[in-house]
Amino acid sequence: MLLEIIALDALDARNAAEGGADRVELVSDMAAGGLSPDPRTVAAVRAATALPVRVMLRTAPGFAADLAALLRVARDLRAAGAAEFVLGFLDAAGGVDRAALDALLPALDGAPWTFHRAIDHAADRTAAWRALAGRPGLDAVLTAGSPDGIGAGLDVLAAEATAYGHRILAGGGLREDHLGRLVAAGITALHSGSAARPGGAWTAPVDPSRVRRLRTLFAAAANET
């Protein structure tokens, strides 16, 4: 069972660890949907916690890849200590941007990575899953099952869990009342951002007690299956 919490800075990362998170996803600018953090923030977070840190590789809102910018940022993030990544891009037809992945993955030097919620905006989800199969280093696909969040995508996630459950990292508007259905479907990895903050506000730091509650409910749901 894995619980990943979105962190914006070192305080968030420390609070996530205190609450019992297993990993943090480090991003900046959630108003833009989550962009790459400053390399200095990466270094500060790595110094603040022993948790694994997945660092967003995304330079602009949306899912188009600016390869020159992304390669430059990937190099800077690696130099700052980033050892795990989150990325995902779509081509003009709404499919997984294979050319972007082909160009970027060598720059990650074999680091583990998550394909993020670009899959929820793909023209064909089944084709997107096929395009990701066998990609080196890929061990998670962050998805809500719908571009409108988990509340709208629960049926899709439950249906996909049989085939892709070991890769699904369920996140995107995750609420406590979603946990039972997700775990019952066989999903064992959850991703949370706003639910770990007072009032769901990105201006508020991660609250260890909210992370702890998610962890407790997650474990309880697993014990009931």
Task: Give the model's pLDDT for residue 174.
Answer: 95
Give Cβ neighbours of residue 159 (< 8 Å, ≥ 6 apart): none
Q: How confident is the model at residue 224 (pLDDT cuts 50, 70, 90)?
A: confident
* Per-residue pLDDT reduced to its tens digit, 119-162: 999 999 999 999 999 999 999 999 999 999 999 999 999 999 99
CA distance 85 to 93: 25
CA distance 60 to 223: 41
CA distance 223 to 219: 6
Q: What is the pTM of this model?
A: 0.96
- Over residues 43-63, mean pLDDT: 97
Number of C-beta neighbours around residue 135 at 10 A: 15
Taking alpha carbons only, the member of 144, 214, 147 closest to residue 180 is 214
Residue 111: helix, strand or coil by DSSP? coil
Task: Give the model's pLDDT for residue 101.
Answer: 97
- Over residues 103-121, mean pLDDT: 96
Task: Give the model's pLDDT for residue 45.
Answer: 98
Using CA of residue 9, residue 13, residue 18, residue 20, what is the dihedral sign? Answer: positive
Domain ranges (residues) in the chain: 2-224
What architecture does CATH give domain 2-224?
A: Alpha-Beta Barrel (3.20)
Is 80 exceeded by the pLDDT of residue 225? no
44: alpha, beta or left? (left if phi > 0; alpha if psi -120 to 50)? alpha
As given in the structure block, the two tokens for residue 67 are 């390869």
Taking alpha carbons only, the member of 130, 129, 135, 127 closest to residue 108 is 135
As given in the structure block, the two tokens for residue 191 are 């991703």
Task: Give the model's pLDDT for residue 71.
Answer: 97
Task: Give the model's pLDDT for residue 65.
Answer: 97
Q: pLDDT higher for 164 or 40?
A: 40
Average of per-residue pLDDT values in the chain: 96
Q: How confident is the model at residue 107 (pLDDT cuts 50, 70, 90)?
A: very high
